[in-house]
Amino acid sequence: MPDSRLVVVSNRAPVELVRDGGVVGVRRTVGGLASALDDVMRARGGVWVAWAGTDGAEVLGADVTGLPYPIRAVPLGERDLDQYYGGFANQVLWPLCHMFSTRCRFDPEFWTGYQRVNERFALATAEVARTGDVVWVNDFHCCLVPGRLRAEGVRARIGLFWHIPFPPPSILGICQWRAELLGGLLGADLLGFQTLDDVRRFGDCVRQLLGAPVEEEVAGLRVRVGGRTVRAVALPIGIDARRFAAQAMDPAVRDEGARLRQALGAEVMMIAVDRLDYTKGIVERLRGFERFLERRPDWHRRVCLMQITVPSRFHVPQYRELKREIDETVGRIVGRFTVGARSPLVYAYNAFDHEHLAAHYGAADVALVTPLRDGMNLVAKEYVACHPAGDGVLVLSEFAGAAHDLEEAVLVNPYEADSVADAIETAVEMPDAERRHRMQALVGRVRLHDVGWWTSGFLGLLAAGVQPATASRSPAAGI
Distance (Å, whole) CA 167 – CA 333: 35
Q: What was the pLDDT predicted at 32?
A: 67
Query: Which string of b and e fits 361-386 if b means at least 16 CB within 10 Å?
Result: bbbbbbbbbbbbbbbbbbbbbbbbbb
Ramachandran assignment for 98, one of left (phi > 0), alpha (psi -120 to 50 degrees), beta (any other): alpha
Q: What is the predicted pLDDT for the residue at 329? A: 98
6-237+454-465 and 241-448 share one fold: yes
What does the chain come to in residues?
Answer: 479
> pTM to 2 decimals?
0.93
Q: Give me the pLDDT at residue 471, please.
A: 35
Active site residue 20: no
Q: Give the span between the Cα atoms of 124 and 118, in whole angstroms.
A: 10
**Among the four given CATH numbers 3.40.50.2000, 3.30.413.10, 3.10.180.10, 3.50.50.60, the one describing domain 6-237+454-465:** 3.40.50.2000
CA–CA separation, 116 and 307 (whole Å): 39
Q: Of the listed 163, 360, 387, 449, which one is catalytic?
A: 163
Question: What's the CATH number of domain 241-448, 3.40.50.2000, 3.40.50.10700, 3.30.530.20, 3.40.50.300?
Answer: 3.40.50.2000
What are the domain boundaries of the chain? 6-237+454-465, 241-448
Neighbours of 12 (CB within 10 A): 19
- pLDDT given for residue 3 in this prediction: 61
Q: How far apart are CA 143 and CA 162, in angstroms?
A: 9
pLDDT per position in the chain (479 positions), as tens?
Answer: 446 899 999 999 988 888 766 677 788 776 667 777 888 898 888 999 999 987 777 889 988 888 999 999 999 999 999 999 999 999 999 999 999 999 999 999 999 999 999 999 999 999 999 999 999 999 999 999 999 999 999 999 999 999 999 999 999 999 999 999 999 999 999 999 999 999 999 999 999 999 999 999 888 999 999 889 999 999 999 999 999 999 999 999 999 999 999 999 999 999 999 999 999 999 999 999 999 999 999 999 999 999 999 998 666 778 889 999 999 999 999 999 998 888 999 999 998 888 899 999 999 999 999 999 999 999 999 999 999 999 999 999 999 999 999 999 999 999 999 999 999 999 999 999 999 999 999 999 999 999 999 999 999 999 985 444 433 333 333 33
Per-residue model confidence (pLDDT) at position 227:
87
Per-residue pLDDT, 334:
97
Instruction: Please pick, among 374, 405, 422, 450, the residue that the annotation labels catalytic.
Output: 374
Sign of torsion over alpha carbons 314, 318, 324, 325: negative
Residue 288: what pLDDT?
Answer: 98
Catalytic, 356? Answer no
